[in-house]
Each structure stands twice: as structure tokens, then as C-alpha cells.
Amino acid sequence: MNTTLLHSLSGRLRLSVFLTLTALAGCGGGDGDGPAAFAPDQSPAQARTTTGDVRGVLAADTVSFLGIPYAAAPTGELRFKAPQPRAAWQGELDASKPGSPCPQASQTTTEDCLFLNVWRPLKAEKPLPVFMWVHGGGFVAGNGGGLNGATLAKAGVIVVTINYRMGIFGYLAHPALESSSRDSGNYGVQDAHAALRWIRDNIAAFGGDPANVTMGGSSGGAMTTCLSSTNPEAGKLFNKQLISSGPCAFQWPTIDQKYVQEAGIPQSLGCTGTNAQIATCLRSPTLTPAQVITAQNTLPQAVVFPSVGGTVAPVQPRQLIGKLPTLMGYAAWELLPNDFSYAGALGTGPLNPQDTASYVSTLATRYGTDAAAIAAAYPLSGFASGNLALNRIEADFGRTPKGVYIATCTNLRNFEIAKAVGGNPLFAYEAADPGDGGNLHVTQGNLFFPTGASTGASLDLSRQQIQYWANFIRSGNPNGAGLPTWSAYAQPTDVLKFGPGPVQTGVDANAAHKCAFWNSLGLGV
């Protein structure tokens, strides 16, 4: 007999014996319908889920399982509906590459996109803590397959990244699409909840502990986490949250408000008539992803945001900040330096005022009558260029045409709200090191999934960050041997600052970013 086949059969026999003994011991799922628990003697690249076997890829210290479907393809009658269970597959699923991203401006070909990816240490002799990461991208871009969870997995964590529906596909609210549970406009959030259920039912087969799950994300993914904490079911499927550049204190629109804001979207897609006719049209295969994305690109971004008030997110997340152990932070430059620009009639591209008069005039287009006071608080002479001065202002408190930006003082207000709500510790940070781009809003995910661009002191700092994060995911407390003490947040000097250079403690973040000044203008959250 072929030796490879013999080895495979032998491994399956050992797995069968293991599962039998586990079931007899009463700790393998009881009714026999659940997934296999992780078996130390099976191939490290194999796992059994509730919908079928998967085979991943071995690396030096980790194993990855990429492109695992966690819900049915949201196409046809399932478009604009809550995610449904995926049918079982036959044979062994090749989990060597990520699944398709969900439709967005750069990728519009397929809606069959509800995939997740798992990384775990090569050796996992006991159930490990689980971290589910929800990517950012303003609810219109990004995917979980573009990240590499291996570095964090090496620290003793099971890492899961997910794709979810975005833009119109993920957040269109309309009475024609409403179910009895009032969930329209939150399909992307519901996708994240389906992924949490997949973790509950399957992560033990990968060596993970379904009772120790941290949910987290950056930007839109962070805010999806905030919204999920308000859901009666999903909120029980994770017990810690890791919020990166996504203020939970945002005041989200209600579903009814989104009905008004988005009433014209079906017509822009060619769908008119009764609610039943509109629903049929919106779910028709003749309405292609490319057509939807084309229409979406003409909309204000805020229109394709989630909402509150239904069963998916019953209340504003700010009411519950602090109810879970939380690690929360922001980037020192939440707006990309040298990219302070305006759209529309003002034109596009960087603005770089050269004198105080043009500086104040530029500020007035965004901050109105507060412009002179802001220019006095941030004198042009204190910056290398007018563009950098504008970016510093925007990063501290961005008063954009779409509302309050994800800015430093908005995040610091988050910390105060969390402290007032109370119940569990909050660990607050500022990411200020440029290594791996980690001091920018758009690259906050590099703290968790480093790209390898960091060198020297930035590399040492990155290693500390990973250890802090792994400790928090494990226990709800980021502190550990060999790390500077990180105090739970009680006052602004408890914000831990990552770089430039070594970790900094005792920095008054409120003062450094002039948050009292912004509050004096009545611009607090």
C-alpha cells in the first residue's frame, strides 16, 4: 500500500479513536453533531468543522486555514437578508488561500464573499484564547484575507479575520427589505455575528477556547465591535473588546432615520413600485454588483453606515462602553499627514496656506466662526508647513462636512464615557510610532498584523505591542513580565503612548491634543 495513504489512514484511525474516547468521556459535544475537538495527534493542517473538513497550510511556527465559508453566499433571495447557514461540503476543503472579498470599488465581481481565515500556533496543547478581527475601511472597503495573523498567533492566540458585506450591500435600510426583526441596514454587522457563532461552534477544532473570545477591529471594524456589544445574542459570544480608531461614542442614526436618508437608493438602482416589487428588483440577478457599486460611488459615505434601534443594535453603543474589559486606542495622526483636502467646489488635493490670513480662511471653510480661535491655539508658526498645521488640527478634532471625524479628542471622550459607565477596566493607548505606519488611522491594523516594515526601535516596540495585545486577549489585562506597567484608565495620564521610541507613560493626552480647548468651543462628543 502507498505509504502516504497508509499514513493518512493511520491518522484518521487515531482521530476516530480520539473522538470516540472524547465522546465517552462526555466532553466532545454530547449529541455527536458538533465539530471534532482539536486532536493533538491529527495532522496540524487538518480540522473538522460543522460543515466539513478543511486542510490548511503549515508554516514554521503556525498553521493557517484561509477562505473558510462561515455563511451562505448572500445572493439572490439572500441578498439584503440576515446571513444564513452554509451548506455542508463533500470531501476536504482546500483552505490554502483567502476567499473573494465582498463587493467594493476595487472588486465588484462576486457576492459569494462570507469567508473567514484562521491562524494558530503549530503546537497548541490546550485551548487557546481567540481573537476575531473585523477589518476597517469606512464600511465600503477592505477584506480579512489581506492580513496575516501569524505574528499574533505565535504569541499564543487563535486569530480569526473575516469578510463582511459593505456599502449598499451591507447597510441599505428600506421598508421593502424589512423583516419582522427590524434588521434592514445592518447586514454587515449581522455577518460579524454569524462569524461569532461559527467561532462558538467550530473554534475548538482549531485549538481555540470558545469561552474566551475577544472581538476587535479598526475604524469601521472597531465600530462594528461596539455595535455588536449591544446585541443580546452576539454580545454573549465575546467577553472582551479591542477597539482601534473607532469611537464607540458615535451617535448612530436609527433605522427610521436611515429610511429617510436612503429612500432614493432603490430608484437609483432602477427599482420602483410597491415594496414587494422593490424587494424583488433589488434581489434580482439582473442587478449586478457592478451596478450597485456604481450607484454607491455617488452617495455620501455616511449613508452606508450601520444604524441602531432595531434588534441588531438596540441601543447606542456609548451606553455600554465599559461593560466589557476593553483595550481601546487611536492613532496620533488619525488623518494622513500631507493629505488635508476638500472635495467638491473647493477642489481636491492638499491645502497648504502660507500666511495667517489664508490659514484662517481655510479653517473657516470647515470650522466656521471658530476658525480664528483655532488658528490662535495652533499658530501657523509652530509648524513646518501650513498643511501639517491643518493635519494636526484635523487629527486632534476633525470637524468634517460629514460630522465629527475619528479624531484624538473624540477617542479621549470615549475613555471618559467608559470610565463613567464603569463595570470593567479600560486600557487606553495612543499609537504614535511611524514604524509600519502605525501612527496613522489607515494603518492601525499594522499594530496587530505587522507587515515587517518596522526596524530597530520600532521593531522592539512592535514586539511589545504584540505581547500587550496577546496578554489582553488571554486575560483581559495587557500587563505581563518584561513590559512597562499599563494602568487601567482613570485619568488622561493613564493613556499609554507607543513611541516614537520607547513606550511612554504618564503623558497627559488631553493636554497634548488640546481637548479642553475643543470642549470650550462646544465641539465635544
pLDDT at 124 over 80: no
50-84 in b/e burial notation, b at 16+ Cβ within 10 A? bbbbbebeeeeebbbbbbbbbbbbbeeebbbbbbe
Q: What is the mean pLDDT of residues 222-228?
A: 95
| Alpha carbons 317 and 157: distance in angstroms, whole number | 27
The residue-averaged pLDDT of 299-308 equals 81
Section 224-250 average pLDDT: 92
- The lowest-confidence range among 170-174, 237-241, 283-287, 411-415 is 411-415
What is the identity of the amino acid at 70?
Y
Confidence bin at 85 (pLDDT 50/70/90): very high
The C-alpha atoms of residue 496 and residue 112 are separated, in whole angstroms, by 41
Q: Which of 112-116, 313-317, 381-385 has the highest mean pLDDT?
A: 112-116
Q: How confident is the model at residue 25 (pLDDT cuts 50, 70, 90)?
A: very low
* Sequence letter at residue 379: P
User: Which secondary-structure segment (H or E) carries 461?
Assistant: helix 456-475
User: Residue 152: its pLDDT value, please?
Assistant: 96
- The angle formed by the CA atoms of residues 255, 112 and 35, to the nearest 5 degrees, is 95
Q: Place 35 in a pLDDT band, splitting at 50, 70 and 90.
A: low
CB 311 within 8 A of CB 228: no
Q: Which of 131-140, 148-157, 337-346 shows the lowest per-residue confidence on average (mean pLDDT)?
A: 337-346
Within 10 angstroms of residue 232's Cβ, the number of other Cβ atoms is 8
CB count in 10 Å sphere of residue 286: 7
- Map out the domains of the chain with their CATH numbers: 48-320 (3.40.50.1820), 321-334+405-520 (no CATH), 344-397 (no CATH)
**At residue 213, does pLDDT exceed 60?**
yes
Please state, as a whole number, how many other Cβ atoms lie within 10 Å of the Cβ of residue 209. 15
Contact, 190 vs 82, CB < 8 A?
yes
Write out the three cell numbers for 490.
482613570
pLDDT average, residue stretch 212-222: 95
Indicate the pTM of the whole model.
0.89
Q: What is the dihedral angle through the alpha carbons of 332, 335, 340, 346, rounded to the nearest 10 degrees?
A: -150
Percent of the chain with pLDDT over 70: 87
Helix residue spans in 368-455 (DSSP H)? 371-377, 386-396, 408-421
Indicate the pLDDT class of residue 251, thresholds 50, 70 and 90.
confident
One-letter amino acid identity for 465?
Answer: Q
Q: Which of 20-24, 206-210, 368-372 comes out lowest in average pLDDT?
A: 20-24
Would you call 395 helix, strand, or coil by DSSP? helix
What is the pLDDT of the chain when averaged over all its residues?
A: 86
Cell of 417: 464615557
How far is Cα 34 from Cα 424, in angstroms, rounded to an integer? 33
Give 255-296 pLDDT, tens digit per residue. Answer: 999 999 999 999 999 999 999 999 999 999 999 999 999 999
- Asked whether residue 347 carries a pLDDT value surpassing 60, the answer given is no
**Looking up cell 484575507, which residue turns up?**
145
In three-state secondary structure terms, 342 is coil
> Residue 467 above 90 pLDDT?
yes
Q: Are 212 and 195 in contact (CB under 8 A)?
A: no
**In this predicted structure, which of 112-116, 298-302, 407-411, 483-487 has the lowest mean pLDDT?**
298-302
Backbone φ, ψ for residue 170 (5° rounding): -95, -20
Instruction: Answer yes or no: is pLDDT of 31 > 50.
Output: no
Q: Which of residues 487 and 437 earns the better pLDDT score?
A: 487
pLDDT on residue 346 = 36
- Please say if the pLDDT value at position 337 is more than 70: no
Q: What does the alpha-carbon distance between residue 144 and residue 133 come to, in Å, rounded to a whole number?
A: 8
> Is residue 394 predicted with pLDDT exceeding 70?
yes
Better-predicted residue by pLDDT, 387 or 359: 359
Residue 122: which pLDDT band, with cuts at 50, 70 and 90? very high
From residue 319, alpha-carbon distances to 249, 322, 379, 433 in Å are 8, 9, 37, 32
Task: Answer whether 64's CB lies under 8 Å from 144's CB.
Answer: no
What pLDDT is stored for residue 64 in this prediction? 98
Reported confidence tier of residue 301, pLDDT bands at 50, 70, 90 = low
pLDDT of residue 40: 56
User: What type of residue sits at position 178?
Assistant: E
Nearest to 430 by CA among 318, 320, 515: 515
pLDDT of residue 203: 98
Q: What pLDDT sits at residue 524?
A: 61
Of 447, 421, 420, residue with least CA distance to 432: 447
CA distances from 71 to 74, 190, 200, 440, 496 (A): 8, 11, 14, 33, 38
More confident residue, 234 or 400: 234
106 compared with 35, residue with greater pLDDT: 106
The pLDDT score that the predictor gives to residue 333 is 84
pLDDT at 345 > cutoff 60? no
